[in-house]
Amino acid sequence: MNNSKYKILKNNFIIVNNKKLYRIQALKDFGGVKEDDNGGYIESEKNLSQIGDAWVSSDAQVYGNAKVYGSAWVSGRAEVYSDARVYGNAQVSGDACVSGSFWQ
């Protein structure tokens, strides 16, 4: 059984800082997302967890080693990049930029 909550649309991409970011599309309902909803842009599946209700919507962008997971949302024209982590119930929106290092 496929537990994926989204797929990467390889034919729908933008170039940001010399990186190819792909639009995502929901494969099932979860959180406030409905099946077939288009999301924002990610560089790869490592940027957005397939577990939980985390989502990247609108024209938001997540790339580099950044990760979004838990129930976090990135929306609007927000960017999350470098080694940043957005998790829990965090919301990053508007024109916000989140970057930097993550230590565990």
- Dig out the tokens for 64 from the structure: 């580099």
Mean per-residue pLDDT for 44-70?
A: 98
Paired strand residues for 16: 19
pTM: 0.95
**What digits encode the pLDDT tens for the residues 4-42?**
999 999 999 999 999 999 999 999 999 999 999 999 999
Residues 7, 67: Cα–Cα separation, whole Å: 16
pLDDT of amino acid 94: 97
Residue 2: pLDDT over 80:
no
Instruction: Calculate the CA dihedral of residues 13, 14, 19, 23 and round it to 10 degrees.
Output: -40
pLDDT of amino acid 27: 98
pLDDT of amino acid 96: 97
